[in-house]
Amino acid sequence: MRRLAVLAPASAWLALFVAAPAVVLLGIALGEADAGVPPFRPPFAADGTWQGSFANFATVLTDPFYRDAFLRSLVVAFATASLCLLIAYPMALAIARVPEARRTPLLLAVLLPFWTGFLIRVGAWIGLLRDAGWLNGVLRALGLIEAPLPLLYSDLAMYLGMVHAYLPFAVLPLHAVLARRDPALEEAAAGLGARPATVFLTVTLPLSAPGAAAAFLLVFIPAAGEFVIPDLLGPPEAQLVGRVLWGEFFQNRDWPLAAALAVVLLALLILPLRLFQRLEARP
Amino acid sequence: MSVARLGLRLGLGFLYLPIVLLVAYAFSADRIPFQWGGFSLRWFRALAEDERLVEAALLSLRVAAGAATLAVLVGGLAGFALARFGPFRGRALFGALIGAPLVLPEVVTGLSLLLLFVALEGAIGWPAGRGALTVLLAHATLGAAYVAVVVQARLAEADRSLEEAALNLGATPFVAFRTVTLPLMAPSLFAGWLLAFTLSLDDVVLASFVSGPAGTTLPMVLFSRLKLGLTPEVNALGAVIVAVAAAALGLAALVLARVDARRGGG
Amino acid sequence: MLRAEGVAKRYGATVALEGLDLAIAPGEFFALLGGSGSGKTTLLRLVAGFETPDAGRLLLEGRDLVPLPPYRRPVAMMFQNYALFPHLDVFDNVAYGLRRAGVPSAELRRRVAEALALVRLAGLERRRPHRLSGGQRQRVALARSLVVRPRLLLLDEPLAALDAGLREATGFELRALQRATGAAFVMVTHDQAEAMALADRIGVLERGRLVQVGPPREVYERPATRFVATFLGGANLLAGTVRADGGVDCAEAGCVLRPAAPLARPAGSAVTLALRPERVRMRPEAADRAAAAEGEGPNATRGTVVEIAYRGELSTCLVRLDGGTALRVSRPSAEGVPARGTRVALAWPGEALTVLAD
């Protein structure tokens, strides 16, 4: 009875705002774009007869434009997650190695940029990287360049923005496993004659592997669907799936096609998502 | 090991360089952002006079407060259930659903929520049109996921025997919840509210999908302006947001630290 | 006052308790002794109402406890980690149960003050639990349980979280409190010395079954099973075959074992006997003839000291018998201990031998 009082409202909310949207998304992906309000024809007519089609999925899966967008998104997500992992690992390790009382301020320092607003940080990169921006100014003042480098609206700018935005997500799970590590294990390895580098490679690194995997996935999954950063910092021709979906929805007003793109993106992310849940469920 | 410490310093430098520059140049008189033209507060004044921005900011604050409150209610219940109900039927599905908005790409969540709102309006006439309410509901769904995680973690730390001790001393389950569990959860509910509030203030993707003409939030205005590049007013706004976020985070850290100190950590 | 009749509890495939019968008398201090996984904590949680038995009945003063929710049972419990509410100070922790019972505030203040005085914590009312020492926390937990005047107090490893130095003193205090309040105490512990020192009666649990119940002395000196014999004080186990005259041929000891009363078992059947290490007399093997008889005949043998463990008051020697097995022999350290390698003659009285059921 009491459990029901807790579970019923929470379950109702989840059913309405998480489960139902997924069902509606799939349904409309089977529909067809149509001029009208809303601009689509649902897969079932008002009398229940089937009028849907798998044409949207066929388009998404066969048209090279969409295929390339998916491929490129996965590459960008993979590269972003790898870069974040590479930068976050030494950071998390350094934080885990300071005395416990000093860890919280350092973790807060890593988290603070995350709290300062995502768009604001993207804006700061625009100010840094554009032709008349700070970086070009510095380089010119140093006499290293004469004409400004085209830094903004490039892959470089996009990756800088992505790594900057997602880095805190990678530090946290890594820190969680590294802070829990038993220093006695490293001391035991050192006592058995291992040099610091060997201790790291044979003890610290393997033991932190689950945290590293979680950190990678925690960046990879949202990065695969990222829209804002590629749109504001990346090159115009960088058609990532987030941007393509956005374009189909807002510019072309092809809701069913956008829904099909979302469903396929979800299907691609199922494997990393399951992996992530397995890692989280570990004791 | 110094390699890790060096990495930490470089990493923090990378994280803070753009933010520090943004704040510093907000006080520059120059019309071009990130160009020093002498100290001036003119862009803060211009910001205060920018009605569109101010209006959007006020709407965003209202939406964020509502969404965070709703998120604390839903996420608090869900986190409590996950931490205290043991294995119940449908637990795996329940856990997956509450955590889904955390991990799903924003474009997917945004699009599917919009399609839901459209379908609901077609079927039952609610929510009538889209605007602040639909944004609030979307943000509450996202925030609830975060709140549930924070609450569940906090309760997992707190020993179950505390509630058992309360029952043993004659407290009914409801009284035990009110006098023991709820005070234990309080810091995580507070932290969760703040997190949900910030997420709502920061979100542009969900809002763009589910909002209507009457529901333009601050991030939506910011996004459309950044499409054209960085203006000195947006730069000044950035400095204000950084200051507010730093103050809020500092305050939250202080409150949580004091609460934890009073309760013996953990 | 508390009766358990055929109580059983399973968690999935694992049996926590099986067919458990037990009766606790009013005002008794009872210790449930067992290793981890023996089901001792499960029994406490069943009585407190945090678990429901799969079978059997639990009666408190004749009233069935099972249908009652935990908060309606007149049973107090002290948790192993004390479970003090971290957000409440000492006063509010102790007052918690009285508030739930709706005790008026004047009486509430008086009773909390009494309880705190009883555990010698007066003056610490406004402290939070995290600013108390381990011993103080334990006493707050006790005061919180006792202030509601339970007729039965359950204690889950009450001394386990304390420093070794504090345990004995706290044990004496527990006894004194139990006498002062007149409540029945049921304590769960894995520490046999603690159980023997504190309890009026001990119940030994082995894998969910109560294998022996009795006063500490009886359980220690007359263990019923191998488990009880080794779990309490580490008895020597000697296996042999019953002789026609009621003695036991024991090849590993190299002698005939002759208990005080002859065994009434068929000749030739296998049997195991327990022999406490401190009941064995040990002397250096003497050259002179007067002592030559020592080490011969029934209940006597010879061997070589191979290890010595100094344990303060007592020292335990491991003696390799000529028959092959090793016997643990302990004697007061003050009486001197033979050096390693010394040949010794061993002997013990017949009443030191206990025949085990298994």
- Closest-approach residue (CA) in chain C for B161: C83
What's the pLDDT at B261?
63
Give the CA angle between residues C142, C147, C152 to the nearest 5°: 75
* Site of tokens 């074992």: C257
pLDDT of A14 above 90:
yes
Q: B165, C85: Cβ pair inside 8 Å?
A: yes
Q: B171, C144: Cβ pair inside 8 Å?
A: no
DSSP string, B136-188: HHHHHHHHHHHHHHHHHHHHHHS-THHHHHHHHTT--HHHHIIIIIHHHHHHH
* Facing A3 at nearest CB: one of B25, B88, B227: B88
Chains B vs C: touching, with 3+ CB pairs under 8 Å?
yes
* Facing B77 at nearest CB: one of A6, A22, A111: A6
Burial C156-184 (b: 16+ CB within 10 A, else e): bbbbebbeeebbeebbebbbebbeebebb
Distance from CA of B245 to the nearest CA of A (A): 6
Six token digits for residue A261 = 């793109």
* Facing A119 at nearest CB: one of B100, B204, B245: B204
- Closest-approach residue (CA) in chain A for B203: A118
Say which residue, A281 or A233, is predicted with more confidence: A233
Residues β-bridged to residue C353: C275
Q: Percent of chain A scored above 90 by pLDDT?
A: 54
Burial C22-52 (b: 16+ CB within 10 A, else e): bebeeebbbbbbbeeebbbbbbbbbbbbbbe
Question: A148-155 long-range CB contacts below 8 Å, 24 or more apart?
Answer: A152/A126, A152/A233, A153/A233, A153/A234, A153/A235, A153/A236, A154/A234, A154/A235, A155/A234, A155/A235, A155/A238
- Closest-approach residue (CA) in chain C for B261: C130
Using alpha carbons, select from A83, C8, A247, C64 the residue that is nearest to residue B14: A83
Give the CA angle between residues C309, C312, C317 to the nearest 5°: 25
Sign of CA dihedral A130, A113, B100, B63: negative
Say which residue, A28 or A34, is predicted with more confidence: A28
Six token digits for residue C44 = 């406490």
What's the pLDDT at A182?
84
Q: B4, A125: Cβ pair inside 8 Å?
A: no
Give the CA angle between residues C164, C170, C176 to the nearest 5°: 155
Q: Percent of chain B scored above 90 by pLDDT?
A: 64
Q: C130, B170: Cβ pair inside 8 Å?
A: no
Range in A88-92, B8-12, B260-264, C115-119 the model is least confident about? B260-264
Q: Identify whether A168 is preceded by a cis peptide bond (ω within 30 of 0).
A: no
Distance from CA of B266 to the nearest CA of C (A): 10
Q: B7, A89: Cβ pair inside 8 Å?
A: yes
pLDDT tens profile A240-262: 999 999 999 999 999 999 999 99
Domain ranges of chain B: 1-40, 51-262
Mutate to test the interface with B, among C47, C84, C87, C148 (most CBs of B within 10 A): C87
Q: What is the DSSP letter of C56?
A: E
Distance from CA of C131 to the nearest CA of B (A): 8
Range in A103-107, A277-281, C20-24, C345-349 the model is least confident about? A277-281
pLDDT of B260 above 70:
no
* Facing A225 at nearest CB: one of B106, B174, B208: B106
Give the CA angle between residues A119, A121, A125 to the nearest 5°: 115
| H or E stretch covering A172 | helix A155-180
Mutate to test the interface with B, among C80, C85, C133 (most CBs of B within 10 A): C85
Provide, as residue numbers in chain B, all residues whose Cβ is less than 8 Å from the Cβ of C86.
162, 184, 263-264, 266
Q: A113, B19: Cβ pair inside 8 Å?
A: yes
Give the class (CATH, top level) of B51-262: mainly alpha
What's the pLDDT at A283?
56
Please provide residue C201's backbone torsions phi and psi, each rounded to the nearest 5 degrees. -135, 155
Residue A121: strand, helix, or coil: helix
Q: Percent of chain C scored above 90 by pLDDT?
A: 66
pLDDT band per the 50, 70, 90 thresholds, residue B265 = very low
Q: How many contacts, defined by CB atoms under 8 Å, are there between A and B? A: 244
Q: What is the DSSP letter of C355?
A: E
Distance from CA of B117 to the nearest CA of C (A): 43
| Helical ranges in B50-104 per DSSP H | 51-84, 91-103
Which is it for strands C201-206 and C29-33: parallel, antiparallel or unpaired?
parallel
Spatial distance between the Cα atoms of C131 and C88, rounded to a whole number of angstroms:
12
Contact A253, A35 (CB under 8 A): no
pLDDT tens profile B184-225: 999 899 989 988 998 999 999 999 999 988 889 999 999 999
Say which residue, A141 or C109, is predicted with more confidence: C109
Using alpha carbons, select from A115, A107, A111, A113 the residue that is nearest to residue A178: A107
What's the pLDDT at B266?
37
Does A222 contact B at CB distance below 8 Å?
yes
Numbered residues of chain B with Cβ closer than 8 Å to any chain C Cβ:
159, 161-162, 164-173, 175-176, 179-180, 183-184, 262-266
Six token digits for residue A18 = 């998480």
Give the CA angle between residues C147, C150, C152 to the nearest 5°: 135
Spatial distance between the Cα atoms of A153 and B6, rounded to a whole number of angstroms:
30
Q: Is B170 left (phi over 0), alpha (psi -120 to 50) or beta?
A: left
Spatial distance between the Cα atoms of C110 and C118, rounded to a whole number of angstroms:
12
* Facing B171 at nearest CB: one of C79, C87, C100: C100
Provide, as residue numbers in chain B, all residues whose Cβ is less than 8 Å from the Cβ of C69.
167, 172
Q: How many CA atoms lie within 13 A of C39 on its CB side?
A: 25
Which is it for strands C29-33 and C184-189: parallel, antiparallel or unpaired?
parallel
What's the pLDDT at A36?
75
Domains in chain A, ordered, with CATH?
A: 1-59+253-266 (no CATH), 63-250 (1.10.3720.10)
| CA B244 from centre of chain | 14
| Helical ranges in chain C per DSSP H | 40-48, 90-100, 105-118, 134-146, 164-181, 192-198, 216-221, 226-231
* Facing B162 at nearest CB: one of C50, C69, C83: C83
Which is it for strands C314-321 and C255-257: parallel, antiparallel or unpaired?
unpaired
Q: Looking at chain A, which subunits does it touch, using at least 3 CB pairs closer than 8 Å as the criterion?
A: B
Sign of CA dihedral A136, A138, A141, A142: negative
Spatial distance between the Cα atoms of A145 and A157, rounded to a whole number of angstroms:
19
Range in A43-47, A188-192, B258-262 the model is least confident about? B258-262
Report, as an integer, the average pLDDT of C173-183: 91
- Closest-approach residue (CA) in chain C for B182: C87
Contact C61, C108 (CB under 8 A): no
* Site of tokens 């935990």: C70
Q: Looking at chain B, which subunits does it touch, using at least 3 CB pairs closer than 8 Å as the criterion?
A: A, C
Distance from CA of B179 to the nearest CA of C (A): 9
Q: Identify whether A38 is preceded by a cis peptide bond (ω within 30 of 0).
A: yes
Give the CA angle between residues A58, A60, A65 to the nearest 5°: 130
Average pLDDT taken over every residue of chain C: 91
Report, as an integer, the average pLDDT of C69-92: 94
Q: C83, B264: Cβ pair inside 8 Å?
A: no
Domains in chain C, ordered, with CATH?
A: 2-226 (3.40.50.300), 235-355 (2.40.50.140)
Using alpha carbons, select from C230, C231, C227, C250 the residue that is nearest to residue C240: C250
Provide, as residue numbers in chain B, all residues whose Cβ is less than 8 Å from the Cβ of C85.
162, 165-166, 180
pLDDT of B167 above 80:
yes
pLDDT of A282 above 80:
no
Distance from CA of C117 to the nearest CA of B (A): 20
Contact B88, A3 (CB under 8 A): yes
Q: What is the DSSP letter of A50?
A: B
What's the pLDDT at B257?
72
pLDDT band per the 50, 70, 90 thresholds, residue C26 = very high
- For the entire predicted model, the pTM comes to 0.86
Q: Looking at chain C, which subunits does it touch, using at least 3 CB pairs closer than 8 Å as the criterion?
A: B
pLDDT tens profile B4-30: 899 999 999 999 999 999 999 999 988
ipTM of the complex: 0.90
Q: Report A:43-62 residues touching B (Cβ under 8 A).
A: none
- Closest-approach residue (CA) in chain A for B20: A124
Report, as an integer, the average pLDDT of A120-140: 90
What's the pLDDT at B213?
84
Distance from CA of A238 to the nearest CA of B (A): 15
* Facing B22 at nearest CB: one of A17, A124, A164: A124
pLDDT of C340 above 70:
yes
* Facing B32 at nearest CB: one of A125, A132, A232: A132
What's the pLDDT at B225?
93
What's the pLDDT at C293?
62
pLDDT tens profile C298-307: 898 989 999 9
Q: How many helices (H) and strands (E) does chain A have?
A: 15, 2
What's the pLDDT at C295?
65
Provide, as residue numbers in chain A, all residues whose Cβ is less than 8 Å from the Cβ of B104.
221, 225, 266, 269
